[in-house]
């Protein structure tokens, strides 16, 4: 935990916050909080700031918080991910938030098992906790937006443009992709939406559908990666390319 | 398992291999092996090839293997990693092999806990199994070399040049690094050795030591990542940069 993330509703009118959960335990046991000590804090979806420890008891820590003027920018990468096995997704939430994602869409595909969508791992109460863990790791405050979509074609046809404006670059990872990530980003877009397929890959029908909706296919070589490894590897490539084009 | 990896000692003089472990179960249950079916096989540290199913019983599968002429190239990235928590390293082995690493050196650093080195996760019998899992995922045959080093300074002074020739590029990840990965690789090296620090980061003494031994510091922005996420993200960036410079 490199940042203590606070929900705006937890902040009292006088700027004070009383923590009595894991964050208090972390502040006390790991950060050795004592009155006067300044801790890094962040307001969920808002600015970073500093929290001065005012009081410490056996089960709570009270901070007086001062916030910076601006909130961190929304991360420039959005992810359209074919629904992975629940076990994999469970591990992935915190890592996605740590890497920095604006919006996560979990989507059905031919090679996704239907029952994957029945998992508790898709419940907001479950994933929000994991996402916050990742933000606290990476020192970010911007909670990714999460949407679950059970039909690919209607989504691409009817909803895609509203969620990912056409001005954003759209790219899709596929071993047959003729380009590299940086070739796809030569136009120096500000944001990019990355589509990542299921373990068995996209079908050629799905690839054509994506292409029709403006996704450029790229490849990163012939190694086949597990979904979680692939997501981290690809998001990292994309974030680095976008950062260096600015 | 996208490849069945076979130890050269398992291959009989007539080119036949009898599998009776997890690989047999996978060939039977997932790949639906039946006589005549061709499976992708690889020879550990050797070439890829095809294995024709000759015989299938309830507990074994016999393949007749034909090998390609050349083995896959050794991956161009080497990793010098401050010893992570055993729990993290346990998860990381297969992912490192899947991403492709030539040599992995696990090394001590100021912010590494001494007891991390006592773990069974560092035993060759443990990690070789995980590395092979990763190779089978990524369709590679090259087992990374693994070395465990308990003292950083003597290693850099006396052993580094033998393991990583000076002609290889040496880079170290640190938030203070003034360059990007691609700036570090502008000279288009063939191989690169990447140093990744412990959760708390390198000390300034350690950074200076690395610098003295030819490591250039680079940064990938201000987000703080967990060791496993950071390794995957950085190796992916490095592999992609090296691939595109060739």
**How sure is the predictor about B244, in pLDDT bands with cuts at 50, 70 and 90?**
confident
**Is there a single domain that holds both residue A83 and residue A168?**
yes
Q: What pLDDT is stored for residue A194 in this prediction?
A: 97
Count of the separate structural domains present in chain B: 2
Structure token pair of residue A24: 């208090």
Q: How far is B157 from chain A (nearest CA, A)?
A: 32
CB distance B95 to A226 below 8 Å:
yes
The answer to whether the Cβ–Cβ distance between B239 and A221 falls below 8 Å is yes
- The residue of chain B nearest to residue A223, with distances taken between CA atoms, is B138
**Is there a single domain that holds both residue A39 and residue A138?**
no
Q: The CATH number of the domain where B151 resides is what?
A: 3.40.1280.10
Please tell me the pTM assigned to this model. Answer: 0.95
Q: What pLDDT is stored for residue A2 in this prediction?
A: 93
**Could you give the percent of chain B with pLDDT greater than 90?**
92
The answer to whether the Cβ–Cβ distance between A240 and B180 falls below 8 Å is yes
Q: Which of A67, A88, A115 is the last residue of a domain?
A: A67
For range B150-172, the mean pLDDT: 95
Radius of gyration of chain A (CA): 20
Q: How far is B60 from chain A (nearest CA, A)?
A: 26
Q: Among B181, B182, B229, select the one facing A99 at the smallest CB separation.
A: B229
The answer to whether the Cβ–Cβ distance between A223 and B180 falls below 8 Å is no
Q: Across all residues in chain B, what is the average pLDDT?
A: 95
Q: For residue B187, is pLDDT > 90?
A: no
Q: Among B99, B226, B243, select the one facing A98 at the smallest CB separation.
A: B226
pLDDT mean for each 10 residues of chain A (246 residues): 96 95 94 95 97 95 95 96 97 97 97 96 97 97 97 96 92 93 90 95 96 96 94 96 80
Residues of B with Cβ-Cβ distance to A95 under 8 angstroms:
226, 229
The answer to whether the Cβ–Cβ distance between B95 and A229 falls below 8 Å is yes
**Could you give the percent of chain B with pLDDT greater than 70?**
100
User: Which three-class secondary structure state does DSSP give residue A31?
Assistant: coil
Q: Is residue A72 part of a domain?
A: no
Q: What pLDDT is stored for residue B171 in this prediction?
A: 97
For range B183-211, the mean pLDDT: 94
The answer to whether the Cβ–Cβ distance between B244 and A180 falls below 8 Å is yes
**Is there a single domain that holds both residue A55 and residue A86?**
no
Q: For residue B95, is pLDDT > 80?
A: yes
Range of the domain at B209: 77-245
The answer to whether the Cβ–Cβ distance between B232 and A237 falls below 8 Å is no
Q: What pLDDT is stored for residue A115 in this prediction?
A: 96
DSSP state of A72: P
**Rounded Cα gap, residues B61 and B55, in angstroms:** 6
For range B20-31, the mean pLDDT: 94
The answer to whether the Cβ–Cβ distance between B240 and A98 falls below 8 Å is no
The answer to whether the Cβ–Cβ distance between B233 and A229 falls below 8 Å is no
Q: Which of A17, A44, A67 is the last residue of a domain?
A: A67
Q: Is residue A168 part of a domain?
A: yes
Q: What pLDDT is stored for residue B24 in this prediction?
A: 96
**Is there a single domain that holds both residue A53 and residue A104?**
no
**Is there a single domain that holds both residue B151 and residue B233?**
yes
Q: Is residue B72 part of a domain?
A: no
**Is there a single domain that holds both residue B63 and residue B152?**
no
Q: The CATH number of the domain where B27 resides is what?
A: 2.40.240.20
Q: Which of A12, A43, A67 is the last residue of a domain?
A: A67
**Is there a single domain that holds both residue B86 and residue B61?**
no
Residues of A with Cβ-Cβ distance to B95 under 8 angstroms:
226, 229
Q: What pLDDT is stored for residue B246 in this prediction?
A: 55
**Is there a single domain that holds both residue A41 and residue A110?**
no
Q: Among B180, B222, B225, select the one facing A98 at the smallest CB separation.
A: B225
**Is there a single domain that holds both residue A229 and residue A123?**
yes
Q: Among A100, A221, A243, select the one facing B243 at the smallest CB separation.
A: A221
**Is there a single domain that holds both residue A59 and residue A83?**
no
Each residue of B32-82: pLDDT tens digit?
999 999 999 999 999 999 999 999 999 999 999 999 999 999 999 999 999
Q: How far is A225 from chain B (nearest CA, A)?
A: 6
Q: For residue B241, is pLDDT > 80?
A: yes
**Is there a single domain that holds both residue B32 and residue B110?**
no
Q: What pLDDT is stored for residue A246 in this prediction?
A: 55
**Is there a single domain that holds both residue A207 and residue A97?**
yes
């Amino acid at each position: 935990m490199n940042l203590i993330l606070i929900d705006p509703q937890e902040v009292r009118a006088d700027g004070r916050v009383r923590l009595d959960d894991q964050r208090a335990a972390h502040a006390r046991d790991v950060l050795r909080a004592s009155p006067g000590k300044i801790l890094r804090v962040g307001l969920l979806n808002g600015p970073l700031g500093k929290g001065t420890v005012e009081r410490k008891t056996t089960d709570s820590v009270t901070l007086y918080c001062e916030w910076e003027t601006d909130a961190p920018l929304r991360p420039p990468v959005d992810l359209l991910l074919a629904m992975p096995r629940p076990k994999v997704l469970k591990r992935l939430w915190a890592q996605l938030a740590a890497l920095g994602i604006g919006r996560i869409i979990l989507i059905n595909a031919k090679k996704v098992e239907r029952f994957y969508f029945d998992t508790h791992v898709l419940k907001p109460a479950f994933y929000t906790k994991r996402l916050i863990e990742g933000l606290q790791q990476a020192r970010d405050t911007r909670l990714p937006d999460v949407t679950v979509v059970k039909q690919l074609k209607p989504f691409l046809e009817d909803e895609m443009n509203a969620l990912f404006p056409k001005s954003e670059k759209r790219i899709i990872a596929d071993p047959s992709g003729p380009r590299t990530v940086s070739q796809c980003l030569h136009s120096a877009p500000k944001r990019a939406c990355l589509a990542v397929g299921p373990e068995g890959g996209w079908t050629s029908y799905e690839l054509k559908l994506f292409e029709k909706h403006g996704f450029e296919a790229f490849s990163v070589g012939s190694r086949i990666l597990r979904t979680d490894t692939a997501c981290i590897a690809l998001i990292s490539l994309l974030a680095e390319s976008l950062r260096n084009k600015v």
